[in-house]
Amino acid sequence: TYYRHHRYVPHFYRYREHSANTENLLPEVSNPVPEVVQPGEPTYPQIPEVFHPAPEVIPPIPEAFHPVPEVVHPAPESYHPPAVHQPAPEAPSPNMSRVFYGIMFDAGSTGTRIHIYKFIQKDPVELPVLDNEMYHAVKPGLSAYKDNPEEGGNTIRQLLRIAKKTVPEDEWRRTPVVLKATAGLRLLPEDKASALLKEVRDVFDESPFFVPNNSVSIMNGANEGVLAWVTVNFLTGHLYSNTRRTVGILDLGGGSTQITFLPKSRKTVQSAPPTYIARFNMFNHTYQLYTHSYLGNGLYAARLATLGALGADGLDWKIFTSSCLPKKFREDVTFGGTTYKVSGIPDGYAGYKLCYYEVMKVIKGIVHQPYEVKGSSIFYAFSYYFDRAVESGLIDSSRGGAVEVRDFKKRAKEVCNKMTKYRAISPFLCMDMTYITCLLKEGFGFKDNTVLQLAKKVNNVETSWALGATFDYFRNLNIH
């Protein structure tokens, strides 16, 4: 089953017309025959096996022509099912097409989201296919409940109700539910973060779903970058093409930002700090990626850092000002459960140049420039890159699209120099657009003409680390 829509690869249909037997060229996936349950014997959730023979005769295809992938579970060479302490329900009949689900919660700094993935295994020797994703988000994120974890737990309960409506009842007990928290919880004091995680775990335990060991955790930054890279390269069909071509990813969250790509040049690896290189196994292949997550450089954290407010807790008398904000603007802003008073500079100057200097403080000397980023890799940019490009009118929200780094710069100048015009959209738009421009150029070192593919979804699936994390759950990718 191929996806019917492919918004960001416009030549997809042409490729399919030219290649009638594409399906045969895709990797094969096979599940073990489900075990027959003996009465009284504990059983475990069926975890699909994936076999991935090297595709032999795939002709080299230009980047934009890749078919949409069918494989849903990248297969590492060896896989050991995790110890499971909960009996799973009976296995389905081997003759029946098998549907299974995975529930992944993304506890981000600015919101909590649920991704419910439905996979179909037509028969034990055929490919399981990612059939669809059900996605829902609530705001604010868990960290906003740092002093009231029970209320934070209620947001999870609310999202689990959607899961109960989406996953058929007879699948509940075998459907894993996992939550991974990102920058919001990383930025909290450990005791506050642990209390929130414990609350979530309790809510999971009272749910009818399968709660694996370690199902509630704070994910580390390297995994966040790698798993988003896996998602995007899977959805764009790059993971098992023989071109060895992949796309890089740029993820701009509220609290942290990630850059991940597959280096072509050895110099990139050699000149990177050792912790910026991550390896993992997939399709019998070890990938070595350049990846880093900058904590405090997400869009909302960067706003506060630009204002000099990040970490300045308890200063409720102080007003933090910036020339990136409209002169007469004054408001309370809340991030990570702390509220700050911010304003423009009423009798001062505002505009792009001054703003650029301000945001530069948050980036210069902090963000590493990979050796290779000036090269020719394609980068997919999503999360707040996408949202701000839409708000500022650079792209259409339903279609996304390609922009050059210089387009962000041009639009940032326009927004900052006409703040009143854009104020209704967001008083922070000048600061955000300038920050994005500065991060791309001064931070990562992208050239003005580097093309970024902006996407919120690819083939109707959210571009986020959550799908990659679901693969990692089913087939340990051994990220190290």
Q: Which residues are annotated as a binding site?
A: 254-258
- Indicate the pairing of strand 457-458 with strand 461-462: antiparallel
- Indicate the pairing of strand 256-261 with strand 98-107: unpaired
Q: C-beta of 184: minimal distance to ligand UDP in Å?
A: 5
CA dihedral (134, 140, 143, 144) in degrees, to 10, reads -160
Q: Which residues are annotated as a binding site for ATP?
A: 254-258
- Give whichever of 47 and 222 is closer to ligand UDP, judged by the CB atom: 222
Q: C-beta of 252: minimal distance to ligand UDP in Å?
A: 7
- Give whichever of 387 and 404 is closer to ligand UDP, judged by the CB atom: 387
Give Cβ neighbours of residue 341 (< 8 Å, ≥ 6 apart): 316, 318, 319, 320, 330, 331, 332
> Partners of 335 in the beta sheet?
338
| Helix, strand, coil distribution of the chain in percent, nearest 5 | 35, 20, 45
Exposure on the CB side of residue 432, measured as CA atoms within 13 A: 24
DSSP 8-state secondary structure symbol assigned to residue 22:
H
- Give whichever of 311 and 348 is closer to ligand UDP, judged by the CB atom: 311
Cα–Cα distance between 172 and 230 in angstroms, integer?
Answer: 27
Active site residue 17: no
Residue 83 amino acid letter: A
CA dist list (Å): 143 to 112, 189, 196, 337: 10, 10, 8, 6
- Indicate the pairing of strand 177-181 with strand 216-218: parallel
The residue among 228, 219, 178 whose CA lies nearest residue 463 is: 228
- Asked whether 69 and 459 are in contact (CB, 8 A), the reply is no
DSSP 8-state secondary structure symbol assigned to residue 442:
I
- Asked whether 176 and 473 are in contact (CB, 8 A), the reply is yes
DSSP 8-state secondary structure symbol assigned to residue 287:
E
Among the listed residues 70, 171, 199, 224, the single catalytic one is 224
Q: C-beta of 337: minimal distance to ligand UDP in Å?
A: 13
Cα–Cα distance between 228 and 182 in angstroms, integer?
Answer: 13
Element housing 275 (H / E): none
- Give whichever of 76 and 336 is closer to ligand UDP, judged by the CB atom: 336
Q: C-beta of 144: minimal distance to ligand UDP in Å?
A: 11
Q: Which residue is nearest to ligand UDP (CB)?
A: 108
Per the structure block, which two tokens stand in for 321?
A: 């000002």
Cα–Cα distance between 167 and 150 in angstroms, integer?
Answer: 25
Backbone angles phi, psi at 125, to 5 degrees: -100, 0
Q: What residues make contact with ligand UDP under the rule CB under 6 A?
A: 106, 108-111, 113, 141, 182-184, 253-256, 298, 383-384, 387, 456, 462, 464, 466
Do you know the residue count of the chain? 480
Q: C-beta of 263: minimal distance to ligand UDP in Å?
A: 23
Per the structure block, which two tokens stand in for 48?
A: 């699909």
Per the structure block, which two tokens stand in for 40?
A: 């009284």
Per the structure block, which two tokens stand in for 376?
A: 């020719």
Q: Active-site residues: which are they?
A: 224
